[in-house]
Structure 1
Amino acid sequence: MDRIQISATDRSPRVDFDFASGRFQLSGESYPEDAAAFFGPLLQSLRTYLAAAASEPIVFEVELAYFNSSSAKALMNLFMPLEDAAGEGRAVTIRWLFTKGDETIAEAGEDFASDFSHARFDLVETSQAEC
């Protein structure tokens, strides 16, 4: 599959889905006008990848400084196929990066983490934004 790279905008995150290496990244801020239109193709590509590549480990890294409720739903839609793949024995790690002192983003990560029982969900505190 071709790598998906989308530059960040004022309202949407930077996307780097590197299917060849099994590394997926979202960073920046996420409150697009139409979250379904933005995230839908990403979700479809992720599902296609998961169906085709059965064994490679996956690292999905999220470093968002802000996201709205429709983006939260879209993130969960991205996370669920990863959880399913982990339940089928695939090594899946989700890394939730947040800046030290950003309790809102840290708590959001904790909320997401509570929905996982198969995928590894790491909450990673950083000293500053890495994006």
Structure 2
Amino acid sequence: MENTALNIDQTPRSPKVSFDPATGTLEVSGESYPEDASLFYGPILKTLKGWLSDEDGPSVTVDIRLIYFNSSSAKAIMNMFQMLEEAAEDGRSVTVNWHYDADDDAMEEMGEDFSEDFESATFNLKPDLTA
């Protein structure tokens, strides 16, 4: 099992990423439109894939709190979601929480679109009502 924690600081163009393999928690927050999305998300996907390879690992909770992302980031996020769905199909408990501002219809719709690809994992739409 890959036990590498990830902590990537937020920049004006890329999100904060925090992954704790001991607890199975991954958080992605901020804006995501890096110059090269595959370069940015590659290490994240590689670490997650390695960690998910241990079928007896702990449950996974992913919290996505993005306020904006571009199409290349959407593809990387979809790749991550496909990995998580496959892990859920293999018996891992996977929960994805899609957090969005309650007034942001576009981010709500993106969450709804992503949720349609989940059958085995749990996908929760979580509006932030405090904004």
The answer for unaligned runs of 5 or more in structure 2 is none
Alignment-derived partner of residue 48 in structure 1: 50
Give how far 1:100 is off: 1.1
Measure how far apart 1:53 and its partner are: 5.3
TM-score (norm 2): 0.95
One-letter amino acid of the structure 2 residue matched with residue 126 of structure 1: D
Alignment match, 2:29: 27
Which amino acid letter does the alignment assign opposite residue 8 of structure 1? Q
Query: SS where residue 98 of structure 2 aligns?
Result: strand
Report the alpha carbon displacement of residue 29 of structure 1 after superposing the two structures with TM. Answer: 0.2
Q: Where in structure 2 are the equivalents of 1:1-131 lying within 5 Å?
A: 1-52=3-54, 54-128=56-130
Amino acid at match of 2:105: E
SS in 2 for 1:26: strand
1:49 Cα shift? 0.1
> What letter corresponds to residue 19 of structure 1 in structure 2?
P
Whole-Å separation in 1 of the counterparts to 2:12 and 2:130 = 19
Does the aligned pair in 1 maintain the 2:55–2:90 contact within 8 Å? Answer: no
Q: Counterparts of 1:41 and 1:4 in 2: how far apart (Å)?
A: 9
Classify the secondary structure of the residue corresponding to 1:20: coil
Letter in 2 for 1:4: L
RMSD of aligned C-alpha atoms?
Answer: 1.1
